[in-house]
Amino acid sequence: MRKYLLIIVLFTSTYAFSQSTIRVMQYNLLYYGGTHYDCSSSTNNINDKNIALQTIMSSMSPKIDVLCVNELDEDVYYADYLLENALEANGEWWWSRANAEGSDIINMIYYDSRKLGLVSHRVKYVYPRIINFFKMYVKSEDLAQTNDTIFITFISAHLKAGSDADDVEDRDDATTTLLSTLEGSSYDVGNYVLLGDFNFYSADEAGYQNLLTYSNSDYRFYDPIDQSGEWHNNYDYADYHTQSTHTTSNGCAITGGLDDRFDIILISDDIKYGNKQVEYKYNSYKTIGQDGNHFNDAVNDGYNGSVSTEVVNALYNMSDHLPVTLELNLDQTISVANNLFENETFYCNTLVNDILKVQMNDYRGNCTAQIFSITGKLLMTEKFNSNIINIDMSEMNSGMYVLRIYYNDKVQTKKIIKVE
């Protein structure tokens, strides 16, 4: 079980978001890391992909708070490499992730740790890979006082590819197992978001219909867009096609142009109707980079009016899938500390997991961080030569501590509280 940190920041003012909304993105990263089939360091270079992902993420307005991905290499090195070199590269230190589970290629959740915390991560194997259940809690502004919060479970799946009868049956079996697992689990009934690369060719597929018509209505899912019709190679669904962004091969990406709706986000009925403090924001479901005018074309073929040229080229270079997003309105208010003030030596996140992230203001080198017990006993000293430092407190007991930073002949102290 991962431990959580509750960081109460003194001497730093905070603001509450005018509307408590989180934005969710689903993205198939096309074999990020390692070597898979014809995808290698030359045809699918992760440093090039990091630059593309930075471009895509920085263009999002509102910003992405939860990023669920498929086709991340199983080696935990790549999970951290994407975190540190793509998501945090622009100084966005607040990104965190779950532990890596699975083999070959895996699913992963990255999230804004100022707004959300990870309660648990469970997995269930369904051929040919596992489904991940990430239970999150919302870090409301009065959480420390009330211990009351909202829970949302994000379920990330990457179902069997292919259009043969056996492939369709595998997807049928996988969704049946997913639903029975969810029903038999200890998760709170209510706020579920199911997202991934489902490889459904039609709304009539048994696997898709399982999700929408499950016998126990508490565990049924809802599709924010039209729930009928043949998606594959159907111009009527051009606004929602997510694969493929390519018409010519780069040695890795699948070709054929945009004509399949494989990448989908579904929500539970309780989120659809806002029964349990989380509600789908009407008309917020978007396929990023899809302007409806690239049916059977590459996403960057000619003019694409949905995003800038820079972003559309980043989408092309990043993957042969397009990301999809939606927004969720919350009944509770999230409070996040402001960015650095000119008179601040450093800023740390209000709420994080086991890694406390500290960002320096006007960094010039040679900083020292110390953590003391509340009685004044020195417990840890870290020297660093970077504007961002990660301090591992996972082995410390719950309770109150003092963080002190020595920098440029200045000393600044903030109290922190670690909780299980």
Q: Does residue 359 share a domain with residue 323?
A: no
Q: Does residue 155 share a domain with residue 298?
A: yes
For 92, phi then psi, to 5°, come to -85, 75
- What mean pLDDT do residues 352-356 have? 70
Domain of residue 266, residue span: 19-330
Distance separating alpha carbons of residues 326 and 367, to the nearest angstrom: 40
In a domain? residue 240: yes
309, 330, 351 - which closes a domain: 330
The token duo for 182 is 């969810």
In a domain? residue 4: no
Return the beta strands (E) in 147-257 as ranges.
Answer: 151-158, 192-197, 221-222
CATH of the domain at 232: 3.60.10.10
Mean predicted lDDT score pLDDT of the chain: 86
Q: Does residue 311 share a domain with residue 260?
A: yes
308, 330, 352 - which closes a domain: 330
Total domain count for the chain?
2
Q: Does residue 321 share a domain with residue 368?
A: no
Q: Does residue 292 share a domain with residue 348?
A: no
Asked whether the predicted pLDDT for residue 292 surpasses 80, the reply is yes
In a domain? residue 2: no
In a domain? residue 25: yes
Q: Which residues contact 70 (CB under 8 A, 6 or more apart)?
A: 27, 28, 29, 105, 107, 156, 158, 196, 197
Helix-helix angle 206-213:165-183, to 10 degrees: 20
Alpha carbon distance, N-terminus to C-terminus of the chain: 9
- What mean pLDDT do residues 149-153 have? 91
Lowest mean pLDDT, pick from 10-24, 28-42, 98-112, 205-219: 10-24
pTM beyond 0.85: the answer is no
Residue 285's pLDDT band, with cuts at 50, 70 and 90, is: very high
- What mean pLDDT do residues 230-258 have? 95
Asked whether the predicted pLDDT for residue 333 surpasses 50, the reply is yes
Residue 218 in 3-state DSSP?
Answer: helix
Q: Does residue 161 share a domain with residue 48?
A: yes
CATH of the domain at 369: 2.60.40.3080
Q: Does residue 366 share a domain with residue 296?
A: no
pLDDT at 338: 37
- What mean pLDDT do residues 264-280 have? 95
Residue 291's pLDDT band, with cuts at 50, 70 and 90, is: very high
Q: Does residue 188 share a domain with residue 147?
A: yes
Distance separating alpha carbons of residues 398 and 406, to the nearest angstrom: 25
Residue 400 in 3-state DSSP?
Answer: strand
330, 354, 382 - which closes a domain: 330
Residue 16's pLDDT band, with cuts at 50, 70 and 90, is: very low
Lowest mean pLDDT, pick from 39-48, 82-91, 183-192, 219-228: 183-192
pLDDT at 57: 97
Asked whether the predicted pLDDT for residue 134 surpasses 80, the reply is yes
Residue 12's pLDDT band, with cuts at 50, 70 and 90, is: very low
In a domain? residue 394: yes
Instruction: Work out whether strand 324-330 and strand 286-287 pair parallel, antiparallel, or are unpaired.
Output: antiparallel
- What mean pLDDT do residues 116-140 have? 92
Distance separating alpha carbons of residues 340 and 346, to the nearest angstrom: 7
Distance separating alpha carbons of residues 392 and 395, to the nearest angstrom: 8
In a domain? residue 12: no
